[in-house]
């Protein structure tokens, strides 16, 4: 089977828009064949990815935009998150030590724990960022 784009969505970089993503992604991940428990975990990871973009890349500025794509490949569900914020330092996108107990800051940990691949890159024109996360099927 060839790769199939399940959806592409443009969202205002605002937390109140993430419900749209969660509902759409839940259906898309099910269509891609993920088990129901994995669907919920993928939705959590995607929500955390978008919140990180909103809070850290756009610094809570309401005029940002996030493009989310879901692609059903033969072996995985691939999620792409594209923003147009200033380029981030990808090496700084690491989970903090879990022994550092304090509120917030666990999004990157959840993303890496749930997803099988997590990759950050800059857009070619150097005016944004791309996050690609993959969840392997039948794992």
Range of weakest confidence among 1-5, 41-45, 77-81: 1-5
The structure tokens listed for 13 are 């970089």
pLDDT digits (tens, 9 = 90+) for 81-132: 999 999 876 665 555 555 555 545 667 888 999 999 999 998 887 689 999 9
Each domain of the chain, given as residue ranges in start order, spans 4-136
- Count of Cβ atoms closer than 10 Å to residue 76 Cβ: 21
Q: What architecture is domain 4-136?
A: 2-Layer Sandwich (3.30)
């Amino acid at each position: 089977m060839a790769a199939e784009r399940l959806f592409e969505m443009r969202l205002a970089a605002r937390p109140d828009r993430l419900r749209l993503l969660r509902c759409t992604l839940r259906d898309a991940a099910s269509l891609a064949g993920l088990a129901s428990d994995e669907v919920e975990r993928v939705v959590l990871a995607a929500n955390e990815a978008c919140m990180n973009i909103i809070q850290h890349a756009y610094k809570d500025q309401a005029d940002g935009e996030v493009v989310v794509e879901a692609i059903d490949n033969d072996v995985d569900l691939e999620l792409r998150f594209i923003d147009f914020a200033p380029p981030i330092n990808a090496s700084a996108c690491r989970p903090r030590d879990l022994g550092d107990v304090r509120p917030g800051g666990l999004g990157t940990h959840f993303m890496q724990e749930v997803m099988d691949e997590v990759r950050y890159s800059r857009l070619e024109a150097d005016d944004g960022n791309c996050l690609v996360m993959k969840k392997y099927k039948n794992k």
